[in-house]
């Protein structure tokens, strides 16, 4: 089984990419100066991976099984997937000739600006989280309005992001408000899993205790009164990742973000992210990202 990878979004604003029948990788290559060296990153988007930002997937056409944090959805036109930061996810596409979608990656900085500007947006985000689903199916009229706004954004970004900085961000702000407005969508019927409340509780428990060095398979299984061997199989079946791998990836993702922020020492970051010591953190970080934490910090400084 392929491992989950972290694909960081370095922009302080947002990135938008269209993947369609005619030019599945055109926008990606343009952003990377048309270098074939980076083309392999397109493939990474269809492996188990996670981002350090919020991601919105607007599904347009094709056949796609979308996996996110233990849930699998059969996407259809009109579906919008809201993927929170660090969520492990993957799109399994049967035929790329028919696959069409728009992906929007929004930085933490810009999301904070949007939320501070609109209490209603914040309330709707909280409401969306309580629904237990990462996918919403929009009413046809709302979906067409959102597509028109996204097309406007893409056109403005093609001309020059510097030419329309305010209008581009404002259009995205409106899109988010429309997507997250409960009145815009109907109950989602594409979740292939029956909602497993126990597994959701386990994920919430892990998230709440992620930085605790004592977070272990034995302790979590004991907390939920489950045999640890059964729990190990149960977790891997639902998450498509072993427990230790999942926790390690989550901690490394947080560590990578803190390294990028460069506010405290790497040794402190290791402890704050739940690693028992720096040496184990160093070993796992280098294995995951193919470079040391300090070298990673230097690369972020040079961006």
pLDDT greater than 60 at residue 5: no
* Per-residue model confidence (pLDDT) at position 40: 44
CB atoms within 10 A of CB 144: 12
Q: 109-118, 168-177, 212-221, 251-260: lowest mean pLDDT where?
A: 251-260
pLDDT greater than 80 at residue 176: yes
5-186 and 197-301 share one fold: no
* Per-residue model confidence (pLDDT) at position 30: 42
Percent with pLDDT over 90 in the chain: 25
> Phi and psi at residue 100, in whole multiples of 5°?
-145, 125
* Per-residue model confidence (pLDDT) at position 196: 67
In terms of Cα–Cα distance, which of 131, 110, 111, 92 is closest to 2? 92
Q: Which range has the top average pLDDT, 93-97, 117-121, 269-273?
A: 269-273
- pLDDT tens digits for 55-83? 999 999 999 999 888 788 999 999 999 99
Taking residues 288-297, report their average pLDDT.
81
> Phi and psi at residue 98, in whole multiples of 5°?
-105, -5
* Fold for the domain defined by 197-301: Arc Repressor Mutant, subunit A (1.10.10)
* Per-residue model confidence (pLDDT) at position 12: 59
Confidence of residue 215 (pLDDT cuts 50, 70, 90): very high
CB atoms within 10 A of CB 192: 11
CA distances from 249 to 31, 48, 53, 269, 277 (A): 27, 11, 15, 15, 16
In terms of Cα–Cα distance, which of 19, 76, 56, 12 is closest to 146? 56
Contact 46, 2 (CB under 8 A): no
pLDDT greater than 50 at residue 10: no
- pLDDT tens digits for 35-48? 444 444 445 567 77
Query: How far apart are alpha carbons 109 and 283 in whole angstroms?
Result: 30
∠ CA 83-224-70 to the nearest 5 degrees? 25
- pLDDT tens digits for 12-33? 588 888 887 655 444 443 444 4
* Per-residue model confidence (pLDDT) at position 230: 93
Contact 190, 79 (CB under 8 A): yes
pLDDT greater than 80 at residue 301: no
* Per-residue model confidence (pLDDT) at position 26: 43
Domain ranges of the chain: 5-186, 197-301
* Per-residue model confidence (pLDDT) at position 6: 56
Percent with pLDDT over 70 in the chain: 81
Taking residues 208-233, report their average pLDDT.
92
Name the CATH superfamily for 5-186.
Regulatory protein AraC (2.60.120.280)
149 Ramachandran zone, left/alpha/beta (phi>0; psi -120 to 50)? alpha
The residues near 270 (Cβ < 8 Å, ≥ 6 apart) are 255, 277, 278, 281, 282, 293
pLDDT greater than 90 at residue 225: yes
- pLDDT tens digits for 228-279? 999 999 998 887 778 988 898 888 888 887 887 778 899 999 999 999 889 9
Rounded mean pLDDT of the chain? 81
């Amino acid at each position: 089984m392929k491992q989950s990878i972290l694909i960081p979004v370095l922009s302080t604003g947002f990135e938008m990419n269209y993947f369609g029948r005619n030019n599945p990788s055109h926008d990606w290559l343009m952003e990377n100066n048309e270098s074939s060296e980076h083309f392999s990153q397109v493939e990474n988007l269809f492996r188990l991976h996670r981002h350090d930002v919020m991601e919105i997937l607007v599904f347009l056409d094709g056949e796609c099984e979308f996996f996110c944090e233990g849930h699998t959805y059969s996407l259809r036109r009109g579906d919008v997937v809201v993927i929170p930061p660090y969520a492990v996810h993957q799109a399994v596409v049967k035929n790329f000739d028919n696959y069409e979608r728009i992906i929007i990656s929004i930085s933490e900085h810009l999301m904070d600006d949007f939320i501070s500007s609109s209490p209603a947006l914040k309330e709707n985000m909280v409401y969306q989280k309580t629904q237990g689903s990462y996918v919403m199916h929009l009413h046809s009229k709302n979906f067409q309005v959102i597509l028109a706004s996204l097309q406007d954004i893409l056109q403005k970004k093609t001309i020059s992001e510097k030419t329309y900085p305010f209008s581009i961000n404002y259009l995205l702000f409106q899109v988010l408000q429309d997507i997250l407005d409960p009145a815009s969508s109907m109950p989602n019927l594409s979740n292939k899993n029956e909602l497993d409340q126990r597994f959701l509780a386990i994920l919430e428990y892990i998230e709440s205790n992620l930085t605790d060095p004592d977070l272990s398979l034995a302790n979590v299984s004991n907390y939920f009164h489950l045999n640890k061997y059964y729990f190990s199989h149960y977790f891997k079946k639902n998450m498509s990742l072993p427990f230790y791998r999942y926790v390690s990836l989550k901690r490394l993702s947080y560590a990578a973000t803190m390294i990028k922020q460069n506010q405290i020492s790497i040794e402190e970051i290791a402890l704050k992210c739940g690693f028992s010591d720096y040496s184990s953190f160093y070993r796992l970080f280098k294995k995951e990202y193919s470079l040391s934490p300090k070298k990673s910090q230097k690369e972020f400084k040079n961006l």
